[in-house]
Each structure stands twice: as C-alpha cells, then as structure tokens.
C-alpha cells in the first residue's frame, strides 16, 4: 500500500506547481468519491486511486505509459519548428508530470513528420531505455508504400542487409514481406535515423508512405488517429519483456 498527501498527488500527476495544486484544492476543484478534497495535507492511498480535477476524472500512476496514434504532419519534438508537436495532442497534466526541466512524458523514439502510426510515451527513464536500446531488439513493424514496384530481389536484399551511407556495417531487416506491387511489411529491431527510408533507397526504391503498426506485442487496434490512451499493466510488461 502506498500513500501520498493530496497536494503531492496533484503535483506528481502534473497539475501544476505545489502552489497551483494547493489552489485547486482550496477552490473546491478536486473531488474524490464524489466529495470535495478539503485538506491538502490529508493522506490518501494511491493504489487504484481515481480523482476528479475541474470535472475531469483522472487515474493516479507512479509512472505514465501511453500509446498515441500519431497523425501525419506532426513532429515528435517538444519544441516543434515547422509542424505541430505531438505533445499538443496530450492533456496538459501529461506534459507537466514531475515538474523540472525534463517534465512530462517523452516519446520512446521518434517518427518523421510525414510518418503515421504507433508511438509509446512515458516518463519512466528505465522503460524508455529498455525500449530504445539496440541490445534488447524490440521489434517494430512498418507498413511501407513505395514509389516504384517492388521485386523479389529488393525484398531479399532488405533481409540480407544493406549498407547505409554513414555506416559500413550492413543493416538488415528482421523480416520483409511484400503485400502488393508497391507495399510491404517491414520489421526492424534497430532504430537508426530515417532507417526505413534509407534502406529502401539502398535497394533503388523510395518510400512514399510509412506507417508504424506495431511495437513488440502492441498494436494500435482501433485507436483513432490523433488519439491516445493509457497502456494497461499487462501491456507494459509485454512490451518491456526481454526478447
């Protein structure tokens, strides 16, 4: 069993500075089990805790683990330059969790602005490292549309390994399955910069459309484009399990 004071609960979940969290309680904007939270220093059990802030119901989480369906025309940057940031798709508390210079959830790896699909976000540094470390080989599945027709030799080369311009060591796909004249499903266990686009360029083709459909065992299922949801505890365990 774990307990926190109400003011610390709100602060840890990203509802502002401690002064702001105190103000939310004093103004009667925080409720629990249908009753106003009146004492900011009162202790509350955080296991399976749900509370309401300004009419919106929130779960308490020690760490945030999220799934986001990234739309095209968005950047995976906190300070986007040319396109809207993916972080604008998230509620403010998720962007402020923990406070400090590195506040909020962070994308576990990035997708290009024109790439759509599955993103995982978290404020758990160990979890982020686990998923991004090349030592752990977490598979990521991409649905690729190409400019030119695909042929068997290109698929074979992608699996055998191709040399990218900045790395003399061949980079190979874990799997490559042609699904149409201009489409394939590509599974990677590495995360190099613009890797899919550069691999297709290395076999004399070009990526026209790119969608990440799966990370580990996680899929988007019916999550709409631009929407997000919490990962379940089982999903967190599955995606971070050793492969």
Neighbours of 173 (CB within 10 A): 24
Question: Is 112 labeled as catalytic in the residue annotation?
Answer: yes
Q: Which architecture does CATH list for 140-215?
A: 2-Layer Sandwich (3.30)
CATH of domain 3-59: 3.10.290.10
Identical fold, 3-59 and 140-215: no
Under a CB-based contact definition with an 8 Å cutoff, are residues 105 and 93 in contact?
Answer: no
Q: Classify 37 as helix, strand or coil.
A: coil
* Residue 30: burial class (beta carbons within 10 Å; 0-12, 13-18, 19+): buried
Predicted pLDDT at 100:
63
Domain parsing of the chain, residue ranges:
3-59, 65-133+224-240, 140-215
Size (the chain), residues: 243
| Pick from 78, 196, 194: nearest CA to 144 | 196
pLDDT at 65: 97
| Domain 65-133+224-240 = CATH 3.30.70.1450 | no
Q: pLDDT digits over 10-68, tens only?
A: 999 999 999 999 999 999 999 999 999 999 999 999 999 999 999 999 999 999 999 99
Return d(Cα 135, Cα 127) in angstroms, integer: 14
The catalytic position among 36, 112, 165, 167 is: 112
**How far apart, in whole angstroms, are the C-alpha atoms of residue 40 and residue 194?**
48
- pLDDT for 136 equals 79
Low-confidence ranges of the chain (pLDDT < 70): 100-102, 242-243
The pLDDT of residue 192 is 83
Q: What pLDDT, on a 0 to 100 scale, did the predictor assign at position 242?
A: 63
Predicted local distance difference test score (pLDDT) of residue 190: 85
Q: In degrees rounded to 5, what are phi and psi of residue 154?
A: -65, -45
């Amino acid at each position: 069993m774990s307990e926190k004071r109400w003011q610390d609960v709100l602060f840890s979940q990203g509802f502002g500075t401690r002064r702001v969290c105190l103000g939310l309680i004093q103004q009667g904007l925080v409720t629990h089990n249908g009753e106003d939270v009146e004492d900011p220093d009162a202790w509350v059990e955080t296991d399976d805790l749900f509370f309401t802030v300004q009419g919106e119901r929130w779960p308490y989480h020690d760490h945030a683990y999220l799934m986001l369906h990234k739309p095209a025309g968005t950047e995976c940057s906190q300070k986007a330059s040319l396109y809207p940031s993916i972080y604008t798709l998230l509620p403010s508390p998720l962007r402020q969790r923990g406070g400090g210079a590195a506040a909020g959830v962070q994308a576990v790896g990035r997708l290009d602005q024109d790439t759509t699909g599955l993103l995982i976000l978290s404020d758990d540094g160990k979890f982020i490292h686990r998923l991004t470390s090349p030592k752990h080989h977490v598979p990521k599945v991409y649905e690729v549309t190409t400019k030119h027709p695909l042929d068997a030799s290109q698929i074979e080369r992608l699996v055998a390994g191709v040399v990218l311009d900045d790395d003399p060591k061949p980079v190979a796909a874990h799997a490559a399955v042609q699904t149409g004249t201009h489409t394939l499903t590509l599974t990677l266990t590495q995360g190099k910069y613009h890797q899919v686009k550069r691999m297709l360029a290395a076999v004399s083709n070009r990526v026209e459309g790119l969608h990440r459909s799966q990370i580990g065992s996680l899929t988007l299922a019916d999550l709409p484009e631009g929407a997000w949801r919490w990962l379940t505890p089982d999903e967190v365990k599955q995606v971070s399990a050793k492969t």
